[in-house]
Amino acid sequence: MPAASPRLPDERLAPLTASYAEALRQRRLSSLFLMAAIIVAAIVSGLLAEVAPARFVQNIGDFFSYFGRIAVFDNSVPDRPDLTGRFVLFDVREWMWGIDRWMRLLIDTLLIAYLGTVLGTIGAFALCFLAAQNLMPNKWIRLSVKRYLEFCRTVPELVFALIFVIAFGLGPVPGVLAIAIHTMGANGKLFSEVAENIDMKPVEGVMAAGGSWVQVMRFAVVPQVLSNFVSYTLLRFEINVRGASVMGFVGAGGIGQNLIEAIRKFYYTDVSAILVLIIATVMIIDLLTERLRHALIGKESSK
Amino acid sequence: MSSALRDQALADAAGLAQRHPTVFTPPLKQRLVTIAVILALVGLFVFGFHRLGFSLTRFLNGLTQLGSFVGFMIPPSPGTWAKAVIYFHALAETIAIAFLGTLLAFLFSFPLAFLAARNATINRGVQLLVRRFSDSVRGVDTLIWALIWVTVVGLGPFAGVLAIMTSDIGNFTKLFSEAIESADKKAGEGVVSTGGSRLHEIRFGILPQVFPVIIGQTLYFFESNTRSATIIGIVGAGGIGLHLSEQIRTLEWQGVSFIILLILITVAVIDFASTKLRIAIIGKSQVAV
């Protein structure tokens, strides 16, 4: 039945369409204003950051040819003049000539990330309940713990690493400590947010049964937050593997030392070999932790 | 009343234990798995501890050294006024690097994210290709990108902008595409049912749902990029990191603490501003990142 759809009489429709147009105009105006603000900020930043489009266009070829150059052998391979100009996969053994050393350094890198994550998470676990609004009634303790955690995660790990390298000497130890401090700050914040969102009924139950503060945490809070904590820790481990791969830039252990050397000294095929190893490691770790996290979350939601 | 309930429960403790065995004694298998996992984690920790050369004496020596450094850091001071001016300029440069890097990454990854999302892409092959591309880009740390860009455009903050842009293209493409994939299908179906094309579906069905999330994530990354931008100077890509590493290497501890203080204040201000902006743009309900 092709009847006309019901329609308001024009005299009642007019004010509605007018107010709709007005609202739309207002929104457009404010979007336009925001756009203009962003563009102005971008121009100012561009001047400050010495953005040089001309240099960029002129050299952008170098960026892509860099990836070309790290993908082929140059004439630096001893006794193998036939390899010059060949794609690296042509002779994988020659490309990955340092695989033993690099694998050892990669294991070191993973261990740095692991130890840093574990130490930092222990610290975060100990402090997070003190920073949660619903669990720590004392305002002074809570706020000072919060500020401390903020300090730990705001100062970049590499800055801690630079300072620790001077205090503890070159090697992986300062790297582990730097990552641990950063992890403590980041996880401490996330953990305390999880703890702030728990169901308070079990807490009241344990309190009513005469439990001490520690007992309340153990029997009412921890069972509720543990799976979230594990999930965040796995995610942090993933991030820390990436962080550990550059700790060597400042002498704090791991594969970064070899990578920065290769980049600075233009050992092109070494750069690609180490980068490929790092990317592969990071991807494998990503995959594994994602699996684990999904398994954990799945178990949680099926309960 | 509650005490009566409690007495009742206590009197029936044996019965309760019998009716809910898993609560009182978890099954043996589950306990064994828990113990095995914990043992493996602790074992790996001990192994790493030895392999990486930790030792108590070295640790304690380091701590005493660190303590004396902290003593030297007080009070924070830039040294001379000329240095303070240099630091403030470097700080402005740092913020500019973070802002431009985030903005450019946003512009590039916005279209890429639609290609990488299962429900908005052109075809499966393109989706997988974009996914792998963004995964590889993300696998490389910002600092490594900075090193590579330095070899291309030379030392200076421009390399930093490009480094932050590159690594965030990887991050944003992943995060945005996940947001797009989790969008409600119904709005898009509605658009299609009234005769909209695929582009209409994306523009009117998906975009309004994901845009607030995307903006929220971008603002969040702007804050975290400010932090990254403070260190890329270590490899010569501009910003305050160059001065910071210089002050640390020359053991000018008062200068170090001054710069760290500057960084802390800046990050706190940007954190505050971006949270305010996020709430203003997308409302309080969708702050979740």
Strand partners, A72: A87
Check CB contact of A14 with chain B, cutoff 8 Å.
no
- B50 and B144 part of one domain: no
| Mean pLDDT, residues A93-109 | 85
- B46 and B88 part of one domain: no
Tens digits of residue pLDDT in A193-214: 888 888 888 888 888 888 888 8
Q: What pLDDT was estimated at residue B149?
A: 87
The domain boundary residue, chosen from B34, B55, B73: B73
Set of chain A residues whose Cβ sits within 8 Å of the Cβ of B244: 159, 162
The structure tokens listed for A12 are: 């009642």
Residue B179 in domain: yes
- B24 and B148 part of one domain: no
| Mean pLDDT, residues A24-39 | 87
Q: What pLDDT was estimated at residue A123?
A: 93
Q: What pLDDT was estimated at residue B289?
A: 39
Q: Where does the pLDDT of residue A302 fall: very low under 50, low under 70, confident under 90, or very high at 90 and above?
A: very low
SS (H, E, C) A206-222: HHHCCCCHHHHHHHHHH
- What percentage of chain A carries pLDDT values higher than 90? 18
The answer to whether A179 and A112 have CB atoms below 8 angstroms apart is yes
Residue B6 in domain: no
The domain boundary residue, chosen from B73, B108, B126: B73
ipTM of predicted assembly, 2 dp: 0.79
Q: For chain A, what is the mean pLDDT?
A: 84
Judge whether residue B83 has pLDDT over 60: yes
Alpha helices in chain B (DSSP H): 2-11, 13-19, 21-24, 28-51, 56-73, 81-116, 124-139, 142-153, 157-181, 185-193, 198-200, 207-229, 241-249, 253-282
CA distance B208 to A198: 31
- B66 and B101 part of one domain: no
- B157 and B195 part of one domain: yes
CA distance A108 to A253: 8
| Mean pLDDT, residues B222-247 | 87
Residue B5 in domain: no
Greatest mean pLDDT range, A86-90, A182-186, B25-29:
A182-186
| Separate counts of helices (H) and strands (E) for chain A | 12, 0
Q: For chain B, what is the mean pLDDT?
A: 84
Residue A289, φ and ψ in degrees, nearest 5: -70, -35
Q: Search chain A and give the residue with CA nearest B252.
A: A163
Residue B3 in domain: no
- What percentage of chain A carries pLDDT values higher than 70? 92
B48 and A115: CB-CB below 8 Å? yes
Q: What pLDDT was estimated at residue A113?
A: 94
The structure tokens listed for A246 are: 């550059």
B151 and A263: CB-CB below 8 Å? yes
Residue B281, φ and ψ in degrees, nearest 5: -80, -45
CA distance A232 to A210: 32
- What percentage of chain B carries pLDDT values higher than 90? 11
Q: Where does the pLDDT of residue B48 fall: very low under 50, low under 70, confident under 90, or very high at 90 and above?
A: confident
Strand partners, A87: A72
Q: What pLDDT was estimated at residue A107?
A: 92
DSSP string, B82-139: HHHHHHHHHHHHHHHHHHHHHHHHHHHHHHHHHHHSTTT-S-HHHHHHHHHHHHHHHH
Judge whether residue A87 has pLDDT over 80: no
Q: What pLDDT was estimated at residue A300?
A: 55
Q: Which A residues in the span 32-61 are in contact with B, Cβ-Cβ below 8 Å?
A: 38, 41-42, 44-46, 48-52, 55-56, 59-60
Q: Which A residues in the span 230-249 are in contact with B, Cβ-Cβ below 8 Å?
A: 242-243, 245-246, 249
- B54 and B107 part of one domain: no
Set of chain A residues whose Cβ sits within 8 Å of the Cβ of B92: 48
Judge whether residue A4 has pLDDT over 70: no
Higher pLDDT pick, A51 / A250: A250
Q: What pLDDT was estimated at residue A268?
A: 83
From the list B62, B151, B158, which residue is nearest A51 (CB)? B158
B45 and A114: CB-CB below 8 Å? yes
- B58 and B96 part of one domain: no
- B245 and B176 part of one domain: yes
From the list A49, A62, A164, which residue is nearest B96 (CB)? A49
Judge whether residue B287 has pLDDT over 70: no
The answer to whether A184 and A149 have CB atoms below 8 angstroms apart is yes
B153 and A44: CB-CB below 8 Å? no
Check CB contact of A77 with chain B, cutoff 8 Å.
no
A112 and B52: CB-CB below 8 Å? yes
Residue B2 in domain: no
Angle, helix A139-154 to helix B253-282, in steps of 10 degrees: 100
Helix H or strand E encompassing A6? none
Judge whether residue B102 has pLDDT over 90: yes
What residues contact B137, with CB distance under 8 A and at least 6 apart? B166, B167, B169, B170, B173
Q: What pLDDT was estimated at residue B286?
A: 46
Name the minimum distance, in Å, from the CA of B7 to any CA of chain A: 12
Set of chain B residues whose Cβ sits within 8 Å of the Cβ of A150: 268
Name the minimum distance, in Å, from the CA of B141 to any CA of chain A: 6
DSSP B176: H
B6 and A209: CB-CB below 8 Å? yes
Set of chain A residues whose Cβ sits within 8 Å of the Cβ of B249: 162
Domains identified in chain B, total number: 2
From the list B66, B139, B268, which residue is nearest A283 (CB)? B139
Q: For the whole model, what pTM was predicted?
A: 0.81
Tens digits of residue pLDDT in A16-27: 888 989 988 988
DSSP A51: -
Higher pLDDT pick, B4 / A212: A212
- B122 and B210 part of one domain: yes
| Assigned CATH class of A95-302 | mainly alpha
Name the minimum distance, in Å, from the CA of A72 to any CA of chain B: 17
The three-state secondary structure class of A13 is helix
Residue B170 in domain: yes
- Which of B56, B91, B143 should one mutate to test binding to chain A, selecting the residue with the greatest count of A CBs within 10 A? B143
Q: How many beta-carbon pairs below 8 A join chains A and B?
A: 168
The domain boundary residue, chosen from B56, B73, B90: B73
CA distance A86 to A18: 69
- B132 and B245 part of one domain: yes
Check CB contact of A161 with chain B, cutoff 8 Å.
no
Helix H or strand E encompassing A80? none
The answer to whether B134 and B116 have CB atoms below 8 angstroms apart is yes
Distance of CA A205 to the CA centre of its chain: 38
A246 and B251: CB-CB below 8 Å? no
Q: What pLDDT was estimated at residue A1?
A: 46
E-strand ranges in A203-274 read: none
- B119 and B214 part of one domain: yes
Residue B4 in domain: no
Distance of CA A35 to the CA centre of its chain: 29
Set of chain A residues whose Cβ sits within 8 Å of the Cβ of B134: none
Judge whether residue A6 has pLDDT over 80: no
Q: What pLDDT was estimated at residue B3?
A: 64
- B56 and B151 part of one domain: no
Domain that holds residue B273: 81-286
Asked if the peptide bond before residue B208 counts as cis, ω within 30 degrees of 0, the response is no
- Residue in A67, A54, A22 with CA at minimum distance from that of residue A275: A67
Q: Where does the pLDDT of residue A2 fall: very low under 50, low under 70, confident under 90, or very high at 90 and above?
A: low
Residue B205 in domain: yes
Judge whether residue A184 has pLDDT over 90: yes
CA distance B289 to B201: 25
**CA-based diameter of chain B, in Å?**
80
Check CB contact of A167 with chain B, cutoff 8 Å.
yes
Q: Search chain A and give the residue with CA nearest B261.
A: A155
Set of chain A residues whose Cβ sits within 8 Å of the Cβ of B62: 164, 167-169, 173-174
Least confident of B1-5, B199-203, B241-245: B1-5
Set of chain B residues whose Cβ sits within 8 Å of the Cβ of A55: 153-154, 158
